[in-house]
């Protein structure tokens, strides 16, 4: 079942609204819900599961979420110490819950950050101010590794831009650099894993860059040209 004692409790009321909109849509109109959620004909069972979220079993968010990034992170092989660091230092963006900590107990569900739900509207518009305000409460240096759809749920707020950088993965080949798409998630997963293994706890952006370099990644800081936007940290790889 959906837990009520999740991290970032200031998002609780909004979570309830999105949850109700999602479960109601999936219960009343499974085929229409599949279209709204961008699911194919072989994924109709996911709408049924969404309709039962309030009764579904829950597990740690870091184990519930799947995909290339989570495969590369490989949390199952982390030590207890590394898991504790992950819980303390990592925040996960969610279309259903806004923001989560890795150990928050949640059910498995299907809802991308770029969906528009009846009664709620576009998730980006619904969450934007709430998630940005919650990010402002996260202490210390922020390395934002979210994809575009999840950045839209709540950009780094102006009050936090001086202690934040937006990570971007670039592939360098033949002296030329290009943005990688699918495989950038694997790089981000490996980077987070390496930082948790290193135990680094940087308190400044320069210290963060040093920590990333020390675990074997090349990176370059690109200053922002706008005062209300965070700088970009290019993470440069030569293979994906």
pLDDT mean by block of 10 residues, the chain; 240 residues = 82 97 96 93 90 96 96 97 98 98 97 96 98 97 96 97 96 80 86 97 96 96 93 87
pLDDT score for 3: 59
Strands, E assignment, the chain: 59-60, 92-94, 98-100, 105-106, 116-117, 121-122, 142-144, 164-173, 176-179, 218-222, 231-237
CA 18 – CA 118 distance, rounded (Å): 9
Query: Given this model, what pLDDT does residue 151 score?
Result: 97
| Dihedral over alpha carbons 26, 31, 35, 38 (to 10 degrees) | 70
Residue 211 tokens read as 């920590």
Q: Under a CB-based contact definition with an 8 Å cutoff, are residues 212 and 191 in contact?
A: yes
CA-based nearest residue to 121, from 27, 44, 25: 25
How is the chain split among helix, strand and coil, in percent rounded to 5?
Answer: 50, 20, 35
User: What per-residue confidence (pLDDT) applies to 1?
Assistant: 53
pLDDT of residue 38: 95
User: Which helix (H) or strand (E) is 23 found in, with range?
Assistant: helix 12-28
């Amino acid at each position: 079942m959906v837990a009520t004692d999740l991290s970032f409790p200031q998002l609780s009321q909004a979570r309830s609204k999105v949850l109700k909109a999602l479960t109601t849509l999936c219960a009343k109109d499974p085929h229409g819900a599949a279209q709204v959620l961008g699911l194919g004909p072989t994924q109709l069972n996911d709408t049924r599961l969404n309709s039962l979220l309030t009764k579904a079993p829950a597990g740690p968010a870091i184990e519930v979420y799947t995909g290339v990034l989570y495969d590369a992170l490989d949390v199952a092989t982390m030590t207890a110490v590394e898991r504790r660091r992950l819980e303390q230092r990592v925040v996960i963006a969610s279309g259903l819950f806004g923001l989560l900590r890795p150990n928050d107990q949640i059910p498995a569900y299907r809802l991308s950050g770029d969906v528009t739900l009846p009664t709620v509207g576009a998730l980006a518009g619904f969450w934007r101010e709430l998630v940005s305000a919650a990010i402002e409460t996260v202490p210390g240096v922020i390395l934002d590794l979210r994809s575009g759809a999840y950045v839209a749920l709540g950009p780094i707020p102006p009050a936090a831009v001086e202690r934040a950088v937006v990570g971007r993965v670039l592939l360098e080949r033949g002296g030329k650099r290009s943005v990688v798409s699918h495989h950038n998630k694997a790089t981000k997963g490996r980077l987070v894993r390496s930082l948790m293994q290193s135990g680094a706890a940087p308190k400044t952006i320069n210290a963060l860059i040093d920590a990333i370099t020390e675990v074997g990644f090349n990176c370059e800081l690109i200053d922002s040209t706008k005062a209300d936007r965070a700088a970009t940290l290019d993470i440069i790889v030569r293979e994906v």
